[in-house]
Amino acid sequence: MWFDPLCPWAWIASRWLLEVEKVRDVDIRFHVMSLSVLNEGRDLPEEYQELMNKGWGPVRVCVAVEQQHGQETLAKLYTAMGTRIHLGKEQLGPELFKAALTDVGLDPALAGVADTAEYDEALRASHEAGMRPVGTDVGTPVIHAPGPDGRQVAFFGPVITPAPKGEAAGRLWDGVLLVAGTPGFYELKRSRELGPIFD
pLDDT at 41: 86
What are the backbone dihedrals phi and psi of residue 78, each rounded to the nearest 5 degrees, phi first? -60, -45
pLDDT of residue 180 exceeding 80: yes
Regarding pTM above 0.85, the answer is yes
Please provide the size of the chain in residues.
199
Q: In angstroms, rounded to a whole number, what is the distance separating the alpha carbons of residues 120 and 74?
A: 16
- The stretch 82-95 carries a mean pLDDT of 97
Cis peptide before 8 (omega within 30 of 0): no
pLDDT of residue 150 exceeding 90: no
* Residues contacting residue 139 through CB under 8 Å, at least 6 positions apart: 4, 7, 35, 38, 156
pLDDT at 144: 95
pLDDT at 193: 86
pLDDT at 135: 87
Buried b (16+ CB within 10 A) or exposed e, 7-22: bbbbbbbbbbbbbbee
pLDDT at 188: 85
Task: Give 85's DSSP letter.
Answer: I
Long-range contacts of 110-117, Cβ-Cβ distance < 8 Å, separation of 24 or more: 110/61, 110/64, 110/65, 110/68, 111/61, 113/60, 113/61, 113/64, 114/56, 114/57, 114/58, 114/60, 114/61, 115/57, 116/60
| 10: nearest Cα among 136, 140, 156 | 140
| 10: nearest Cα among 63, 71, 85 | 85
DSSP string, 131-179: HTTT-SS--S-EEEEE-TTSSEEEEE----SS---HHHHHHHHHHHHHH
The one-letter code for the residue type at 3 is F
